[in-house]
């Protein structure tokens, strides 16, 4: 599957005439940014460097009337990217409040906790008109939802972007997140590979619309197919550097019974190359 993604992106890149990370919008190489797991784990990161910060909130809802069960998750986070000299960049998701509500028949429970946090490192590799961005990301044990355990994790993967004409770009990649839950009786591991593919249209400087799909699997279980996630994003850049973003996803076909996920974010993006060696030279 990785080879097919790479071949498809390379074919598109050969017919394109633009730098994959140069666009009239403040950002390029941006997938549909909506998390299906804690913090940013399992969510394909950006394929191009930038210095940016955003405040985001997401909500997931599950309503199973036949089982008399329902759940609601509302979480917030502060996300940031910092471009480093040489073109690589750091990413982070800092923890915010996380509200959970569960109703099971006549029983109800809710809680407010601190969500997870991540720290990542991304390296750009240009192959013709295709840019690859291998990355490593760590999930730090900042969650407070566990009473007698701590969850951490490690993820590695690759993001890819290629222009498909003047107004389109294709973003794809995969992530291999490993979750480790450490508790007094031992450590439980969960492995959840994810493959994503998005197409983004950028008809004008101040707007980008994106459609995409991702596939999640859970190899350790007998029923290993976790979810097929159709998703969409609307990104607005009303003034220089300002970002307003709305995204949504609808998990279907797999073990994940979530009915829908939505996310809203507001942020700021610095000019491209703000920390590059050229910009730093007097």
Given this model, what pLDDT does residue 2 score? 52
Domains of the chain plus CATH, in order, are 2-280 (2.40.160.40)
Determine the Cα angle at 147 with ends 108 and 44, to 5°. 85
pTM here is 0.85
Given this model, what pLDDT does residue 106 score? 78
Given this model, what pLDDT does residue 250 score? 94
Nearest residue to 43 via CA among 52, 53, 31, 61 = 31
Given this model, what pLDDT does residue 66 score? 76
Question: Dihedrals φ, ψ of 128, to 5°?
Answer: 65, -125
Given this model, what pLDDT does residue 13 score? 41
Given this model, what pLDDT does residue 23 score? 65
Would you give per-residue pLDDT tens digits along the chain (282 residues)?
A: 555 444 444 544 443 445 788 766 788 999 999 988 888 888 999 999 999 999 999 999 998 877 778 999 999 999 999 999 999 999 999 988 999 999 987 788 888 999 889 999 999 999 988 999 999 999 998 888 888 889 999 999 999 999 988 889 999 999 999 999 998 888 888 889 999 999 999 998 899 999 999 999 988 777 789 999 999 999 999 987 899 999 999 999 888 888 999 999 999 999 654 444 333 333
Given this model, what pLDDT does residue 214 score? 96
C-alpha pair distances (Å), 236 with each of 82, 94, 162, 207, 211: 21, 23, 21, 5, 15
């Amino acid at each position: 599957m990785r080879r097919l993604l790479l071949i498809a992106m390379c074919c598109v890149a050969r017919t394109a005439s633009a730098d994959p990370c140069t666009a009239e919008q403040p950002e390029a190489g941006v997938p549909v940014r909506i998390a299906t797991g804690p913090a940013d784990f399992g969510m394909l990161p950006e394929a191009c460097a930038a210095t940016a910060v955003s405040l985001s909130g997401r909500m997931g809802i599950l309503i199973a009337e036949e089982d008399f069960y329902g759940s609601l998750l509302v979480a917030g986070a502060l996300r940031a990217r910092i471009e480093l000299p040489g073109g690589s960049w750091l990413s982070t998701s800092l923890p915010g409040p996380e509200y959970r509500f569960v109703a099971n028949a006549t029983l109800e429970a809710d809680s407010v906790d601190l969500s997870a946090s991540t720290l990542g490192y991304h390296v750009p590799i240009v192959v013709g008109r295709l840019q690859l961005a291998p990355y490593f990301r760590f999930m730090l044990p900042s969650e407070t939802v566990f009473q007698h355990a701590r969850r951490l994790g490690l993820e590695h993967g690759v993001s890819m972007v290629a222009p498909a004409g003047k107004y389109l770009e294709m973003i794809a990649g995969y992530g291999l997140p490993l979750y480790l839950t450490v508790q007094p009786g031992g450590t439980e591991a969960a492995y959840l590979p994810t493959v994503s593919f998005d197409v983004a249209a950028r008809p004008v400087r101040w707007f980008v619309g994106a459609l995409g799909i991702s596939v999640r699997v859970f190899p350790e279980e007998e029923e290993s197919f976790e979810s097929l996630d159709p998703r969409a994003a609307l990104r607005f850049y009303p003034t220089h550097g300002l970002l307003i973003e709305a995204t949504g996803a609808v998990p279907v076909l797999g073990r994940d019974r979530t009915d829908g996920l939505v996310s809203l974010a507001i942020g700021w993006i610095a000019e491209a190359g703000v920390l590059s060696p050229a910009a730093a030279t007097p």
